[in-house]
């Protein structure tokens, strides 16, 4: 046993290094051309998918994909993933919302307000804002509702921030096209081009941009030649946004159409879009940037990644990435506004959370592999995690029943308890290879978990927990040091489609590392009858190294995890070495806490060569006195935590784990006393893990997830010890005794 497991662990780490290097290799960004960009042509097509671009059969689209920089973009907003919210987020560069019922008009267009009579949009706007819009402009009578809705969110949203930044730098804006559904106006593209008062300088978004066609959804289709001629005749420097709405109209009416005819109409619409892009492509010279995007519409089953394509003559093709995601080929929707401002040489406003994109070298095959992997993991993640959580609940209830009733079957129950502890490790190493098939993943997980558990349960209690702890934290840390190639594709990792986190160590694995590292340390110390200064130093340095790993922007990037772990590691250290609490120790702890905060600040704000992380930006807000933004951040994290505690299945696992430990503290009688006497260091470790779990609830925006994954390394070991001790007392003798464990130390 002693020879087999070190060899297996070494082989695993070597395999991780080899596979990780293949995944994280990223080329340097392509250098920009010397000629400055004068205009940006931004074509947005709601309803266009990555699949349309992958298997298009459209000659101009295929040519564009070969010449351009390509990325997959999520559509996370400040609320639900509706079409209006998606536009608002693209426009502001932060998580924003927009009321779906409020749209844009030409000043002379009639608007049905309250009652049977219509009012010209310009008059309605003047009535609400006290200002008159010029002829040829586009007005937003609902601008104040937009402001009010965003004030309710926990993000700082500046209406018209993108266009205001352009205007300050001397650039203009133009908007063309609409998504009108027959007589119903649906116009959100001006959210991108409007200024802070809800006005776009010029554009054409009315009925004149549509042609009557009885064979098309809502009886209309896009008037492409009008949009093309208007765009080509626009000579001002700035950003022109073109909205093509035929695919959107088809999606809205598609459920009432014959599936076969719907496909024929869709192919016809894609052909028209292809011809339009074919006319734009040769005219996009070195002084123009052509951008193609698609916007999510919030329809059920439509969540996912959407295309973003950027073409400029003279620049090499590649894959898009950004400091927001740190993933080749995957970017955030909040990145686009910042990217276009940077391309035009305009300073990015501080309110924008997005970071400018870069183009790096890469192949189309690699890009599509990334997309397939991300979408496969996204589609399977809910069922995988719910199954894992349900398994934990069943195992806790069954194991508790067997211990209390002293029933049969405790041997196999021990293997299942251990398999639950090993599942995060298996999620890390097999998810990426098996994500395309639920059955393949399930089979690998069950066989791997039970096989490892069977091998480990042959070990004595203390070595068993030492190996379980090592398998919990060591692969995660090694993977994090290599850039996270495995955690990025783990079901227990993070999801770029949801967009809550893209890099570092997520809250799930933060809890795993916290719990398993303390468990391994406790087991290592349990086997030593005396504790030397070297051991104290080794444990202290080990905990400090993990804190740096959590806090560093180039590794863990988890400030909440660093603070929660500081609590857990601190409690563990003081309990392991029986340090007495006094005034001198208080000042030492306070000094260490201060050093830790300074280290966190230095790593996330002052380390050269790294784009500031979300932690670094929070520190910069604090340093600049932007306490309103700090309050938004804290409020957002608190709301998320409370929401997850109430609604998340992780909360049920955490509470059931606490209940299980509470019951085992009193039954069987003397169980807790036995644990303290026979395994004092393990008991100290369990106390520390529980302290760290509770700290995670306070410091993390989804701390209940970290708490639930950390507490596994308390409740499962306690139940395993309970099963083994009941077996020992029943048979009167066992090789799995504390005396045997101690003698091995």
pLDDT at 469: 96
Could you give the residue ranges of the DSSP H alpha helices within 71-120? 83-92
Strand extents, DSSP E, 608-694: none
Q: Tokens 């002084």 correspond to what residue? A: 287
pLDDT confidence of residue 397: 93
Domain segments of the chain: what residues?
A: 39-95+161-362, 472-744
The predicted model scores a pTM of 0.84
pLDDT of residue 19: 46
pLDDT of residue 703: 83
Q: What is the pLDDT of residues 613-624, one digit of tens each?
A: 555 555 555 555
Residue 239 has a pLDDT of 98
List of residues 6+ apart from 555 with CB closer than 8 A: 480, 481, 504, 505, 548, 549
Pairwise CA distance, residues 296 & 47, whole Å: 7
pLDDT at residue 634, as a whole number: 60
Residue 728 has phi, psi (to 5 degrees) of -65, -45
Give the DSSP per-residue string, 393-433.
Answer: HHHHHHHHHHHHHT-S-HHHHHHHHHHHHHHHHHHHHHHHH
Among the listed residues 742, 684, 666, the one whose alpha carbon sits nearest the alpha carbon of residue 461: 742
Distance CA 344, CA 166 (A): 9
Instruction: Show the low-confidence residues of the chain (pLDDT under 70).
Output: 1-35, 114-115, 297-302, 407-410, 579-581, 585-586, 588-589, 591-647, 669, 726-745
Domain 39-95+161-362: CATH superfamily, name plus number: Alkaline Phosphatase, subunit A (3.40.720.10)
pLDDT at position 241 is 98
């Amino acid at each position: 046993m002693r020879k087999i497991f070190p060899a297996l662990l070494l082989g695993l780490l070597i395999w991780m290094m080899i596979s990780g290097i293949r995944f994280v290799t990223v080329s340097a960004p392509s250098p920009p051309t010397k000629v400055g960009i004068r205009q940006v042509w931004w074509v947005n097509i709601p309803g266009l998918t990555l699949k349309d671009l992958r298997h298009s059969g459209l000659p101009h689209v295929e040519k564009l994909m070969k010449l351009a920089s390509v990325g997959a973009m999520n559509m996370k907003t400040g609320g639900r993933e509706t079409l209006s919210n998606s536009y608002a987020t693209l426009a502001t560069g932060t998580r924003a919302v927009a009321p779906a019922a409020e749209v844009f008009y030409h000043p002379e267009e009639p608007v049905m307000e309250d009652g049977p009579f219509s009012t010209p949009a310009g008059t309605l706007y003047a009535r609400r804002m006290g200002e008159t819009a010029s002829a040829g402009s586009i007005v937003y009578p609902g601008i104040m509702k937009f402001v009010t809705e965003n004030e309710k969110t926990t993000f700082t949203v500046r209406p018209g921030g993108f266009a205001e930044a352009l205007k300050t730098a001397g650039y203009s804006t133009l908007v063309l096209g609409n998504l009108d559904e027959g007589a119903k106006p649906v116009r959100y593209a001006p959210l991108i081009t409007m200024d802070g008062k809800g006005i776009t300088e010029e554009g054409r978004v009315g009925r004149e941009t549509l042609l009557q066609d009885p064979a098309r959804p809502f009886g209309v289709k896009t008037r492409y030649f009008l949009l093309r001629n208007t765009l080509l005749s626009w000579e001002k420097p700035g950003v022109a946004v073109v909205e093509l709405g035929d695919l959107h109209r088809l999606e809205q009416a598609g459920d009432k159409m014959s599936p076969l005819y719907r496909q024929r109409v869709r192919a016809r619409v894609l052909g028209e879009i292809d011809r339009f892009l074919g006319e734009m492509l040769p005219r996009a010279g070195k002084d123009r940037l052509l951008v193609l995007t698609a916007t999510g519409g919030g329809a059920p089953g439509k969540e996912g990644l959407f295309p973003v394509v950027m073409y400029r003559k003279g620049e090499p093709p590649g894959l898009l990435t950004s400091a927001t995601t740190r993933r080749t080929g995957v970017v955030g929707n909040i990145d686009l506004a910042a990217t276009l401002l940077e391309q035009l040489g305009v300073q990015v406003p501080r309110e924008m959370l997005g970071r400018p994109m870069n183009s790096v070298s890469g192949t189309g095959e690699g890009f599509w592999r990334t997309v397939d992997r991300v979408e496969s993991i996204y589609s399977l993640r809910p069922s995988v995690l719910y199954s894992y959580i349900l398994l934990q609940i069943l195992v806790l209830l069954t194991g508790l029943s067997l211990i209390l009733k002293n029933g049969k079957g405790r041997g196999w129950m021990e293997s299942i308890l251990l398999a639950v502890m090993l599942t995060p490790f298996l999620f890390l190493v097999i998810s990426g290879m098996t994500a395309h098939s639920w059955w393949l993943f399930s089979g690998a997980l069950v066989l791997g978990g039970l096989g490892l558990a069977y091998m480990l349960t042959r070990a004595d209690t203390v070595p068993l927990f030492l190996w379980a702890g090592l398998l919990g934290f060591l692969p995660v840390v090694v993977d994090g040091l290599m850039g996270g190639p495995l955690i990025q594709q783990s079901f227990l990792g993070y999801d770029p489609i949801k967009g809550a986190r893209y890099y570092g160590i997520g809250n799930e694995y933060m809890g795993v590392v916290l719990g398993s590292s303390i468990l391994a340390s406790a087991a290592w110390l349990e086997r030593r009858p005396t504790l030397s200064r070297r051991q104290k130093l080794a444990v202290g340095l080990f905990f400090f190294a993990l804190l740096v790993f959590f806090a560093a922007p180039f590794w863990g990037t988890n400030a909440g995890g660093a603070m929660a772990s500081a609590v857990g590691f601190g409690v563990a250290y003081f309990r392991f070495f029986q340090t007495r609490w006094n005034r001198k120790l208080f000042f030492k702890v306070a000094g260490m806490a201060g050093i830790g905060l300074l280290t966190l600040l230095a790593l996330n704000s002052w380390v050269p060569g790294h784009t500031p992380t979300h932690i670094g930006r929070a520190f910069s807000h604090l340093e600049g006195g932007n306490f309103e933004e700090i309050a938004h951040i804290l409020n957002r994290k608190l709301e998320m935590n409370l929401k997850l505690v109430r609604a998340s299945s992780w909360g049920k696992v955490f509470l059931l784990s606490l209940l299980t430990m509470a019951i085992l503290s009193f039954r069987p009688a003397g169980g807790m006393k036995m644990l303290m006497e026979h395994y004092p260091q393990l008991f100290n470790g369990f106390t520390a893990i529980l302290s760290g779990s509770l700290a995670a609830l306070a410091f993390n925006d989804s701390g209940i997830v970290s708490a639930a994954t950390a507490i596994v390394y308390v409740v499962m070991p306690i139940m395993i010890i309970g099963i083994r001790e009941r077996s020992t007392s029943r048979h009167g003798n066992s090789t799995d005794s504390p005396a045997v464990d101690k003698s091995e130390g």
